[in-house]
Structure 1
Amino acid sequence: MQMQSLWKSLLVSPFLLGAIALSASAQSLSDAEVDSWTPVTHLASNSSSLADLDQVTSVSQLTDVRPTDWAFQALQSLVERYGCIVGYPDRTYRGNRALSRYEFAAGVNACLDKIQELIAAATADFVRKEDLEVIKRLQEEFAAELATLRGRVDALDVRTATLEKQQFSLTTKLNGEVVFAASGLATGQNARGEDVFKTGIFGDRVRLNFDTSFTGEDLLRTRLQAGNFRSFTSSLGTFEGEQRFASPDGSNEVEVDALLYQFPVGEKLTVVIEANAGASDDFVDTVNPFLDGDGGSGALTNFGSRNPIHYLLEGTGLGLRYEFNDFLEISGGYLAADASSPLRGRGLFNGAYGVIGQLTIKPSEAIKIGLTYVHAYNNDFTANGASGSNRANLRSALLNNTDLPDALAPFGGLDIPTSSNAYGVSASFQVNPKFVINGFGGYVNTRTLATRGVLPRGELDIWTYAIGLAFPDLLKDGNLGGIIVGVEPRVKGVSRGLRSAIGRDPDTSIHVEAFYQYRINDYISITPGIIWLTAPDMNSNNSDVVIGTIRTTFTF
């Protein structure tokens, strides 16, 4: 009966309502949460909410409190007589929230502190005797909870301090991507007209990004990468159909891949300093949404990921991106392939390099167009990937391909300097949230700059184009379907003297690629896909090649 009488008195006490009100405005901390280690982050995240609470001086400032509410009078007393209530930044009170005994005890303690302030200020006449009696009873009943709560909060403070000292970095975040891929050649002939060896392979690519910010607006990215998924180029004798996640050496040795520092200058300009393995997509929009996932998502191949002219540069240098407004952006940069070498014919300006500039136009949220120019010296489409025929990659093919077609075989091993000017257009149109049309086209004029006493100087006219269809959320939210059809870089014309030596690509090879990316959860996706190459190496005498792949991507 005594407890029943006590609770009846508490129900009409404005100080009880003050405890509830204060608690409802503070963090919600259950008994289980206090007992576990996990509330360190819970408390840290809610501390900012506490800081955002606003003091109110009139109950009318609380937008979700009505005069008809059963506790209106008591709440009005706490607000206007005792100043013991705070509201959320949106001026709501949220009085229907549940609270634990710990929250209740903390609220009572806060209101008692307010009363003590009033007494100390010689305003004790504002405090009624019956209120003080209720507070005294509450203090006695919840003394154990208050003591326990104080002890646990002190312990959490110690644990938080320990975690801050032991954590990896206050400025660096780790994120990563792991690709497992099973792939196989099902049928076809290589560039020499020989039947391919039908085989299956399994490999991986691992990327760990250490993203550091010193100001909150800049980014220092240090990427460690390893991989052993080998390209089918050695089997096919052509650069067509190469998959984006393939590793050049296939050794699975860990190396520093991307190393860049990005920072804003003013509100519209972004500067990107590329220290290692820089690529154009670090500062230039490739205008191929959903399909360009750099091998980890979207298209499987280099060709399907972006316009191949973006592969004409790679290395160390500088990139800039300037946004005039929401509709117009200009970007560009310079990358040197062997900037760290002091040897003759290398270095930041004397070796292979590429310069890119692009005007990106965004007439609406659904439409984007990129107009691109690239100048490259001693670089071809293998500089940062691989795509196209042997003739389209003449310099790399002669240097590195040991299975050249008969027309090029006599010149194998030659180091031919080249200069290229490339012009491209890429466009994207999102018809609706679940259907996107992408497309690109490119023309490259490549000149051979020395004969080495064997190969005549001359020019090659290289063309490439494709259309891609993306189907976001196909059959399930987070999934993606994709189809890419096009022609990888093909030499359509060659100047007379050079043509007499190496010829030109006699036919057109069609690249057909289809994939379905199935998201298992936020961290794992599986992508089966197929790559079909007609007339490999642009020669209809070679039987079509079919490559099947299952890619599994883990992100964290």
Structure 2
Amino acid sequence: MSNLLWKSLVVSPAVLGATLLVSTTAIAAPNTTTEVSAVKQAGVAEVAQQPEMLAQTTIDQVNRYSNEGNQNNSQSQVTSVSQFSDVQPTDWAFQALQSLVERYGCIAGYPNATYRGNRALTRYEFAAGLNACLDRVNELIATATADLVTKQDLATLQRLQEEFSAELATLRGRVDSLEARTAELEANQFSTTTKLVGEAIFAVTDVFGGNTGDNNNTVFQDRVRLDLQTSFTGRDILHTRLAAGNATAFTQFDNAGGAINTAEGTQTFEIGSTGNNAVRIDRLTYEVPVGPANVYLAASGGRHSHYAAVNNPYFFDNTDGGNGALSTFASESPIYRIGGGAGIALNLPLGKGGGILGNSSITAGYLASQANDPALSSGLTNGDYAALGQLNFSVGDRLALAATYVHGYSAGGFLFDSGSTTDGNIVPVGTGQANTLLGAGSSNSYGVSAAFRPSDKLSVSGFVSYHDVSGFGANDDYEAWSYGLGVALPDFGKKGNVLGIFAGAEPYSFNRPGFVGNDIPYHFEGFYKYRVSDNISVTPGVIWLTSPGQSSANDDAIIGTLRTTFTF
């Protein structure tokens, strides 16, 4: 462990230095009440009358101007200044503006008939109304209806314009500036329907313990995911995620110096054997509500944990895996890693509140690993697949329970590899005895999971899964077990930080012909996610594996990791 701490201290400044280099500063937008009121009363913020268009943009400045003080997103025409209850009717300016408004109908005000702001804002609000009347008079003149404008009104307008010249100049300058900024943002924005959510992971990691430690070196690895999240209605979401990385898992060795057939201790940012930072699409899914149900469609990279409740808060990161537990095993029950690819799923509530079914729902999904392959032994129905059914139940917002069943078929490979048959980027979990499928076979898996939050500062979660595999060859039948329990302390030391401790047994199987080792491979993990800023976190942690490869004769393996996560 001292060796691990020394290596972490050596590399940490480099990682944290990179962290500081990539941080950015948000561009502040003006938000004074003066600007908001002036723009609204002048009628130049016409986008306030188009909430559907604003819902599709990411222009924060426009949203700020258009939504301030407008609770119901509607405006009604005001034809008398006397409707503004906080304007003094004894001012000559009030009486003059009232006369102009009632003759030309040139001001639109708030439906509740009051001006926003205090006395210091009254001159700007009057200047806004005056500006509207000037525009209305100019419109009448331009349309050859100038005879409707009397000389007396023109004189009044001139006097008011002189009285409020400073305010009018300020107002028009702000409007021009706002229009210029809005035009620039609209011309350069990425999309009105799509936002980019990204995550980059820098990880320094090493493994210690006997031959495993001697045959592996300290590594500095990375993984990047860029998720284009598109919404067409505001309630649906299309995920198009690009991924690249170079993080491969450590190879574990027995005391004779031979490699152990195991996937224990794999971490969430590790991507398997093809870690060369090649860019690929690793998720293409669409989620949309249809009636009372939420429908999930996966064209590629579908996972059961995308749509089913995992019930493992603070350990499972449902976005990109860079802010939860270090290991794949601690992040979710292995039952959700049986099958994957393309398919459909839905979540349907079973009650409308009250009664025993009031807080329950049912989840069902089907994912095929070779759905794109038209070969006779592949496709959507004849290739590898997994069908999931899950009953979810919650008691308030403190307790969540789930019972899960998964039926799967595979032509061979690994059981807990998220349905990957050809994608070397997918890393399985568990020992070789539990994971390895010698040939074609089917599996029936049963699991329960629970999450309990007794307070806002404590969360306890866990799972148990049992797997019955029926191989189509001789002596291919076997059973596998897995279980785990985690305790998380959110906001530990600072808001946004998380201290997590997890313990359990990665998937294991006893007495399989051709495999050696009948000991339970225990997994212990501790990590502390420190939130440097809203976009950067640093997570040091340790994973301790006992009896790797289900053999107590093999030395324990200890993995130390310093993970830095950038989200944007």
Q: Which TM class, normalised by the smaller chain length?
A: 0.7 to 0.9
Q: Partner of 1:15 in structure 2? A: none
Q: Partner of 2:311 in structure 1? A: 287
* Residue 314 (structure 2) pairs with residue 272 (structure 1): no
Q: Partner of 1:424 in structure 2? A: 447
User: How far 1:203 sits from its partner (Å)?
Assistant: 0.8
User: How far 1:302 sits from its partner (Å)?
Assistant: 0.9
* Residue 65 (structure 2) pairs with residue 46 (structure 1): yes
Q: Secondary structure at the match of 1:138?
A: helix
Q: For the residues of structure 1 that align with 2:442 and 2:219, how far apart are their CA atoms? A: 36
Q: Is the 8 A contact 1:24 1:95 kept in 2?
A: no
User: How far 1:530 sits from its partner (Å)?
Assistant: 0.3
Q: For the residues of structure 2 that align with 1:20 and 1:111, how far apart are their CA atoms? A: 19
Q: Partner of 2:271 in structure 1? A: 247
Q: Secondary structure at the match of 2:540?
A: strand
Q: For the residues of structure 1 that align with 2:481 and 2:36, how far apart are their CA atoms? A: 71
User: How far 1:420 sits from its partner (Å)?
Assistant: 1.1
Q: Is the 8 A contact 2:521 2:548 kept in 1?
A: yes
Q: Is the 8 A contact 2:59 2:182 kept in 1?
A: yes
Q: Which of 214, 218, 221 is 2:236 aligned to?
A: 218
* Residue 480 (structure 2) pairs with residue 462 (structure 1): yes
* Residue 369 (structure 2) pairs with residue 337 (structure 1): yes
Q: 1:21 to 1:370 in 2, by over 3 A?
A: closer
Pairwise mapping of residues 12-31 of structure 1 onto structure 2 (< 5 A)? 23=38, 26=41
Q: Is the 8 A contact 1:27 1:46 kept in 2?
A: no
Q: 1:89 to 1:209 in 2, by over 3 A?
A: farther
**What is the number of equivalent residue pairs in this alignment?**
486
User: How far 1:532 sits from its partner (Å)?
Assistant: 0.4
User: How far 1:389 sits from its partner (Å)?
Assistant: 1.1
User: How far 1:155 sits from its partner (Å)?
Assistant: 7.0
User: How far 1:388 sits from its partner (Å)?
Assistant: 1.3
Q: For the residues of structure 2 that align with 1:417 and 1:224, how far apart are their CA atoms? A: 32
Q: 1:134 to 1:76 in 2, by over 3 A?
A: closer
Q: Secondary structure at the match of 2:509?
A: strand
Q: For the residues of structure 2 that align with 1:295 and 1:229, how far apart are their CA atoms? A: 14
Q: Partner of 1:203 in structure 2? A: 221
Q: Is the 8 A contact 1:233 1:240 kept in 2?
A: no
Q: Partner of 2:473 in structure 1? A: 450
Q: Is the 8 A contact 2:548 2:557 kept in 1?
A: yes
* Residue 271 (structure 2) pairs with residue 256 (structure 1): no
User: How far 1:218 sits from its partner (Å)?
Assistant: 1.7
Which consecutive residues of structure 1, in runs of 5 or more, have no partner in the other structure? 1-18, 30-38, 396-414
Q: For the residues of structure 1 that align with 2:458 and 2:118, how far apart are their CA atoms? A: 44
Deviations 1:390-425 (A, max 9, x none): 100122xxxxxxxxxxxxxxxxxxx51121110000
Q: Secondary structure at the match of 1:329?
A: strand
User: How far 1:161 sits from its partner (Å)?
Assistant: 4.3
User: How far 1:380 sits from its partner (Å)?
Assistant: 0.4
Q: For the residues of structure 1 that align with 2:250 and 2:547, how far apart are their CA atoms? A: 16
Q: For the residues of structure 1 that align with 2:119 and 2:321, how far apart are their CA atoms? A: 47
Q: For the residues of structure 2 that align with 1:218 and 1:97, how far apart are their CA atoms? A: 45
Q: For the residues of structure 2 that align with 1:243 and 1:21, how far apart are their CA atoms? A: 50
Q: 1:460 is aligned with what amino acid? A: Y
Pairwise mapping of residues 134-153 of structure 1 onto structure 2 (< 5 A)? 136-140=158-162, 142=164, 146=168, 150=172, 153=175
Q: Is the 8 A contact 2:38 2:124 kept in 1?
A: no
Q: Partner of 1:552 in structure 2? A: 564
Q: 1:342 to 1:477 in 2, by over 3 A?
A: same
Q: Partner of 2:403 in structure 1? A: 371
Q: Partner of 1:481 in structure 2? A: 499
Q: For the residues of structure 1 that align with 2:178 and 2:234, how far apart are their CA atoms? A: 27
Q: Which of 296, 300, 303 is 2:326 aligned to?
A: 300
Q: Is the 8 A contact 1:58 1:80 kept in 2?
A: yes
Which consecutive residues of structure 2, in runs of 5 or more, have no partner in the other structure? 1-33, 45-57, 140-144, 254-258, 354-358, 419-425
Q: For the residues of structure 1 that align with 2:42 and 2:397, how far apart are their CA atoms? A: 40
Q: 1:230 is aligned with what amino acid? A: T
Q: For the residues of structure 2 that align with 1:22 and 1:502, how far apart are their CA atoms? A: 79
Deviations 1:213-262 (A, max 9, x none): 22222211111000101112466631111101101211110001100122
Q: Secondary structure at the match of 1:487?
A: strand
Q: Is the 8 A contact 1:183 1:200 kept in 2?
A: yes
Q: Partner of 1:320 in structure 2? A: 346
Q: Secondary structure at the match of 2:128?
A: helix
Q: 1:189 to 1:421 in 2, by over 3 A?
A: farther
Q: For the residues of structure 1 that align with 2:40 and 2:181, how far apart are their CA atoms? A: 25
Q: Secondary structure at the match of 2:198?
A: strand
* Residue 356 (structure 2) pairs with residue 351 (structure 1): no
Q: 1:418 to 1:23 in 2, by over 3 A?
A: same
Q: Partner of 2:193 in structure 1? A: 171
Q: Is the 8 A contact 1:22 1:86 kept in 2?
A: no
Q: Secondary structure at the match of 2:430?
A: coil
Q: For the residues of structure 2 that align with 1:143 and 1:80, how far apart are their CA atoms? A: 19
Q: Partner of 1:437 in structure 2? A: 460
Q: Secondary structure at the match of 1:478?
A: coil
Deviations 1:492-542 (A, max 9, x none): 4x5xxxx4x325741112110000000111100000000001111221111
Q: Secondary structure at the match of 1:502?
A: coil
Q: Is the 8 A contact 1:185 1:197 kept in 2?
A: no
* Residue 435 (structure 2) pairs with residue 393 (structure 1): yes
Q: Is the 8 A contact 1:56 1:79 kept in 2?
A: no
Q: 1:531 is aligned with what amino acid? A: I
Q: Partner of 1:529 in structure 2? A: 541
Between the aligned residues of both structures, percent identity stands at: 43
Q: Is the 8 A contact 1:189 1:536 kept in 2?
A: no
Q: For the residues of structure 2 that align with 1:22 and 1:508, how far apart are their CA atoms? A: 69
Q: For the residues of structure 2 that align with 1:44 and 1:503, how far apart are their CA atoms? A: 63
RMSD, aligned CA? 4.0
Q: Is the 8 A contact 2:97 2:130 kept in 1?
A: no
